[in-house]
Amino acid sequence: MEKIAVLTSGGDSPGMNACIRAVVRTALYYNMDVYGIERGYEGLINGDITRLNHRSVSDIIHKGGTFLKTSRCPEFKDLEVQKRGTYALSAYGIEGLVVIGGDGTFRGAKSLSDNFGIKVMGIPGTIDNDLAYTDYTLGFDTTVNTVLWAINNLRDTMHSHDRVSLLEVMGRNAGDIALYAGIAGGAEYILVPEVPYDLDEIASSIKKSNLRGKTSNTIVLAEGAGDREEIVQKIKEKTGINVKVTVLGYIQRGGSPNMADRVLAAKFAIKAVDLLKNGGESSAIGIKDNKIVAVPFEKAFNEKKVFDKDLFESARILGL
């Protein structure tokens, strides 16, 4: 394979720039021509394609976000729209694609491969860590550390004022960001979509701990696990305690990728370009038990995410 392109798609995540850099540098190392596609699948169908060189990816390894920009492109579900994307690729003689994004990105990739014979390698780039076939997605580690920074700061002021803090974090329908940051931050309550909870129980537990002299608590709420105002209301009704709410929002998506994500970015990228160079089948690249893996998209989609219930339980033991 002589010519490949790389794009980023869906919600951005820290490490995407490091990953693009590694894709470009690996492709050039193998004397391949490499192109950047702007704004994900939107740029593919619009032909926003530029040839890249070593210098194109200088000084970006430490930058959050993606210099190729990204987009959500729901119209790409349509086969006719996808076909327009293949015209753009053939106009440049591009034979293979590396797409960095989440499950929506992978569905587009699989369709390009199945319906148009384009070789596509998918790199899991999303802060949510919600793809079952891989232990970690690119950006997750950095985002959890950003949330941990927020928890640490909140603990200081909530402790000073004997207050209860509720921090809402991202994750869409997954609870891994809340779980890992909550454990690391010593949160007393971690509310995730994967585990049902009883607000009455939580309220009375806070009341009891208050009476035992524990004057501040931290609740970490994954955005898919419930309505923050309802939770605050219930606790106020049951305990008379005023919970202070912080919604961390898009701060979680930016920031310089940490070591873990920069190294993961390099490992994913090298695997993806190696496979394209050596005629590998279209695959989702991931990490399983610390080994870099390439699995068929079908398999990647069908694997059910197993939530780490044991880790979750430890929060209950350690937090109270």
Which residues belong to the active site?
A: 128
Q: Write out the two tokens for 117.
A: 């014979």
CA–CA separation, 63 vs 218, rounded Å?
31
- Pattern 35-64, ligand F6P, x by CB under 6 A: ------------------------------
Nearest distance in Å: CB 175, ligand F6P: 11
* Buried-exposed string 26-44: b where 16+ CB fall within 10 A, e elsewhere: bbbeeebbbbbbbbbbbbb
**Cβ proximity to ligand F6P, 126 vs 216, nearer residue:** 126
Residue 141: both structure tokens together: 């580690």
Nearer to ligand F6P among residue 7 and residue 276 (C-beta): 7
Residue 100 has phi, psi (to 5 degrees) of -115, 115
163 in helix, strand or coil?
A: coil
Question: CB of 42 within 8 A of CB of 9?
Answer: no
Site for ligand F6P in 216-235 (CB under 6 A): 223
Instruction: Give the span between the Cα atoms of 76 and 101, in whole angstroms.
Output: 14
Site string for ligand F6P, 106-145 (x = CB under 6 A): --------------------xxx-----------------
Q: Is the torsion defined by CA of 151, 157, 162, 168 positive or negative? A: negative
Task: From 114, 46, 43, 105, select the one nearest 79 (Cα to Cα).
Answer: 114
- Is 171 a residue that touches ligand F6P (CB under 6 A)? yes
CB of 128 to ligand F6P, least distance (A): 5
Which is closer to ligand F6P, CB of 112 or CB of 170? 170
User: Would you count residue 239 as binding ligand F6P (CB under 6 A)?
Assistant: no
Q: Give the binding range for ligand F6P (CB under 6 A) out of 15-23, 75-83, 169-177, 258-266.
A: 169-177
Residue 172 as a binder of ligand F6P (CB under 6 A): the answer is yes
From the number of C-beta atoms within 10 Å of its C-beta (0-12, 13-18, 19+), residue 279 rates as exposed
Q: Cβ 234 to ligand F6P, closest distance in Å?
A: 23
By CB under 6 A, the residues from 256 to 315 that bind ligand F6P are none
Nearest approach, Cβ of residue 318 and ligand F6P (Å): 26
- Phi, psi values for residue 211, rounded to 5°: -65, -25
Interface with ligand F6P (CB under 6 A), residue from 19, 99, 158, 170: 170
Q: What whole-number distance in Å separates Cα of residue 20 and Cα of residue 249?
A: 25
Tell whether residue 65 is a contact of ligand F6P (CB under 6 A).
no
Considering the complex, what minimum distance in angstroms separates the CB of residue 201 from ligand F6P?
A: 27
294 touches 283 (CB < 8 A)? yes
96 belongs to the binding site for ligand F6P (CB under 6 A): no
Return the residue matching tokens 């310089």. Answer: 256
Nearer to ligand F6P, 112 or 127 (CB): 127
Q: Report the interface residues with ligand F6P, using CB under 6 A.
A: 11, 72, 102, 126-128, 170-172, 223, 253
